[in-house]
Structure 1
Amino acid sequence: MAAWPTPLPVFILTGFLGSGKTTFLNKLLQNPDNAATAVLVNEFGEIGIDHLLVDTIDDEILLLESGCVCCSVRDDLSAALLNIIEKCAEGLLPPLSRIVLETTGVADPAVLLQFLMESDELNRHFIVGGVLTVIDTVYGEKTLLEHPEAERQAAMADVLIFSKTDISNHKTLLRLRQKLGNMAHARLILNSNDEIDFSAIFNNRQRKSIPEIDYKQPAGHPAGHGFSSFVLSWNSPVIWDDFKVWLEGLLIARGDDIYRLKGLVHVEGKRGPIVIQGVQHTFYEPTMLDKWPAGTPQTELVFITRHFTKSAAYKSLDPFMSISEKL
């Protein structure tokens, strides 16, 4: 393998389920100053549709689809990083300034940092630029209290990125800033709705160590994280008004157990899919795509839940015959 002249900084983009990592990543990719950025995107479990929600998908974005980065894809991650160096050396990729690794919502950045820092082979080509943690300002307080994974992600951050500040309560935001200011050691706190100075984020300052922090539980997390994921899918188009009533009602009734919902909806009379996203009790403004990705048009909804099963999700569709009769 040809040597790469300058170690590339690797930035870990993390944040709890539904925090807004993909939205931030889209903003990063749309900024022309970040053109020399390679991205590694990791999905929860074996289900992958986030790559359909990223605007720019080409040779600069590499997708890892199996498992949580800090748990089961270490060999794949190492190979993917080294593959980027090899492609750059061979001229198959343009010169790069950095790599951004998007983790799953339940990833532990401390474990990933340790892996990156302790690999002699990786250290010949890469440095750790830092940890970027996206914080959901609507549900952040609750999430930090209930999920040690989220607390670890915030505590490990070099940069905290507050999302959804346009719909969050001002007093809640102030409390969250104070809590994170006391807990985290971040050098920079940003609002994702503002114009972001990416040069302040990517200043290529090498991270030297992993801070010692008092957590609610030891480093690492149990296999499976207590979360489950499943997909609801069907081919026939739905009536949007009926579908929206069902989805909003489901999030109101079971939002405490639905940590993330995202997907593409095949709607009657629409040429392309409608992209939907929900986090707990909140259903976000859907967006329309001009055309379907490759393959047969079909509705595909990905759920990440606790205490809410696929069969329960299907059963909730029963009162909405215009939808359920198509399943």
Structure 2
Amino acid sequence: MPQENGRPTPIPLTVLTGFLGAGKTTLLNRLLQDPALSDTVVIVNEFGEIGLDHLLVETVDEDMILLGAGCLCCTVRGDLIAALEDLLRKRDNGRIKAFRRVVIETTGLADPAPILHALIAHPYLSLRFRLQGVVTVVDAVNGCSTLDEHPEAVRQAAVADILVMTKRDLAGAEPDQLAARLRQLNPGARLEGPDVPAETLLGGLFGLDGKSADVREWLGAEHAAPDRHGEHRDHHHAHHGHGHHPGHDHHHDVNRHDAAIRAFHLVSDTPVPRPAFEMFLDLIRSAHGPKLLRLKGLVAMADDPERPVVVHGVQHVVHAPVTLDAWPDADRRSRLVLIVRDLDPAFVERIWDAFLGRPRIDGPDAAALSDNPLAIPNG
């Protein structure tokens, strides 16, 4: 099998999530008819809930189905980690056809953060699989009310790399309001319609052709570029809390969730010392891990600036960094995207600046951080 640094080349893995009734099954059925997915393993939580009957050919074993396109569908009734380990054993032993990609379809009520955490925290699976992206399906008819009523739906949208809006033709004017709300909640995500091509959804930084995708797109830089204070330009009027803001006469406050969940960028124009970067990651994940919903980025290390390092993180765990052979575009800056809950971006920026030797201390925590950049303020 292909090797990377003496080990098997990691298998790209995509997480497909979305709230109940959003249209994940319809999207998955369409994707599976694309010949490009003929060597894909699809993992679903309960096979009986998925309408794939027209694609079935034969049962491989009790929990594995061979689909008409040649994909495998592994039904997860137990532990996801155990299912992935079993798939790898069968693949390595030649008991099933070697697959090139895995798609995990979560239940509608799933919080994707623990799933991502499990994928990158496991010492073996983190070597054999590489998170390619999170695709979240959102129902245009009920999307706003679902975000109002279900925290799981908010988390699903917040951690997405791609948001797929379904049922637009049934929703009247609702899609525009929902799209604006999703852009506030996750400005770095790409917003697509239900007919999005498979290669768009399942491409990404680690494509099967071995080439890196556009990093600006992967990092959401076009939509979430920070100003000099680290705030999103399109968040200028956001984050007024959970109630109605006096200056707005909306039916409801579209930013009611955004006061808790934020996405922002950290950027460095100069290469980053590796020890400083590792200490920064250790500090953020150890002190604020539960609040770190997602971290991803491309970093120029001072000891090897011509070969950027790709990082993925969820909560307390950061995936083993991957070094690319070369920069995929002309932009050589280090760029990190963080999606956080109840964590002040300005505080994280001050820590980042302190580790890079460019402290910009202000506010109530100034004294503590000036004396000790590792200090963590209360709250």
TM-score normalised to structure 2 length: 0.49
Tell me how far 1:64 sits from its aligned partner. 1.2
Matched, 1:106 2:131: no
Tell me how far 1:86 sits from its aligned partner. 2.0
Matched, 1:61 2:88: no
Aligned-partner Cα distance in 2 for 1:51–1:147: 22
Tell me the equivalent position of 1:143: 146
Query: What secondary structure sits across from 1:213 in the alignment?
Result: strand
Aligned-partner Cα distance in 1 for 2:52–2:139: 19
Aligned-partner Cα distance in 2 for 1:95–1:186: 34
- Counterpart of 1:130 (choices 101, 117, 133) is 133
Larger radius of gyration between Structure 1 and Structure 2: 2
Q: Residues 177 and 54 from structure 1, CA distance in 2 versus in 1: closer, same or farther, beyond 3 angstroms?
A: farther
Tell me how far 1:164 sits from its aligned partner. 1.1
Aligned-partner Cα distance in 2 for 1:28–1:90: 28
Contact 1:7 1:126 in 2 (8 A): yes
Aligned-partner Cα distance in 2 for 1:97–1:53: 21
Q: Residues 29 and 119 from structure 1, CA distance in 2 versus in 1: closer, same or farther, beyond 3 angstroms?
A: same
Tell me the equivalent position of 1:28: 31
Aligned-partner Cα distance in 2 for 1:80–1:178: 38
Which structure 2 residues correspond to residues 68-87 of structure 1 after superposition, within 5 A?
73=78, 76-87=79-90
Which structure 2 residues correspond to residues 220-239 of structure 1 after superposition, within 5 A?
none
Q: Residues 52 and 176 from structure 1, CA distance in 2 versus in 1: closer, same or farther, beyond 3 angstroms?
A: closer
Q: What letter corresponds to residue 109 of structure 2 in structure 1?
A: V
Deviation readout 1:172-191 (Å, 9 max, x if unpaired): 10111111011114442211
Deviation readout 1:21-69 (Å, 9 max, x if unpaired): 11111011111111111000003xxxx622454542333001113xxxx
Q: What letter corresponds to residue 209 of structure 1 in structure 2?
A: G
Contact 1:41 1:61 in 2 (8 A): yes
Per chain length, whose mean CA-contact separation is higher, i.e. which structure has more relative contact order (CA < 8 Å, sep 6+)?
Answer: 1
Tell me the equivalent position of 1:153: 156
Deviation readout 1:268-313 (Å, 9 max, x if unpaired): xxxxxxxxxxxxxxxxxxxxxxxxxxxxxxxxxxxxxxxxxxxxxx
Tell me the equivalent position of 2:61: none
Aligned-partner Cα distance in 2 for 1:185–1:82: 35
Which structure 2 residues correspond to residues 125-204 of structure 1 after superposition, within 5 A?
125-169=128-172, 171-192=173-194, 194=195, 196-204=196-204
Root-mean-square deviation (Å): 2.2
Aligned-partner Cα distance in 2 for 1:81–1:32: 23
Matched, 1:209 2:324: no
Q: What letter corresponds to residue 56 of structure 1 in structure 2?
A: L
The count of aligned residue pairs is: 198
Contact 1:116 1:122 in 2 (8 A): yes
Query: What secondary structure sits across from 2:205 in the alignment?
Result: coil
Tell me how far 1:125 sits from its aligned partner. 0.8
Aligned-partner Cα distance in 2 for 1:54–1:168: 29
Q: What letter corresponds to residue 35 of structure 1 in structure 2?
A: S
Aligned-partner Cα distance in 1 for 2:189–2:50: 30
Query: What secondary structure sits across from 1:10 in the alignment?
Result: strand
Deviation readout 1:191-220 (Å, 9 max, x if unpaired): 11x2x22222222426512343236xxxxx
Tell me how far 1:138 sits from its aligned partner. 0.5
Tell me the equivalent position of 1:225: none
Structure 2: 5+ residue runs without aligned partners? 57-64, 67-71, 207-295, 297-311, 315-337, 343-379
Tell me how far 1:119 sits from its aligned partner. 0.9
Deviation readout 1:219-277 (Å, 9 max, x if unpaired): xxxxxxxxxxxxxxxxxxxxxxxxxxxxxxxxxxxxxxxxxxxxxxxxxxxxxxxxxxx
Structure 1: 5+ residue runs without aligned partners? 66-72, 216-327
Aligned-partner Cα distance in 2 for 1:9–1:94: 16
Which structure 2 residues correspond to residues 8-19 of structure 1 after superposition, within 5 A?
8-19=11-22
Tell me the equivalent position of 2:220: none
Query: What secondary structure sits across from 2:124 in the alignment?
Result: helix
Query: What secondary structure sits across from 2:86 in the alignment?
Result: helix
Contact 1:158 1:185 in 2 (8 A): no
Q: What letter corresponds to residue 48 of structure 2 in structure 1?
A: I
Tell me the equivalent position of 1:234: none
Greater CA deviation, 104-113 or 78-87?
Answer: 78-87
Deviation readout 1:129-161 (Å, 9 max, x if unpaired): 111100000000100011111011000101111
Tell me how far 1:89 sits from its aligned partner. 2.1
Contact 2:13 2:133 in 1 (8 A): yes
Query: What secondary structure sits across from 1:93 in the alignment?
Result: coil
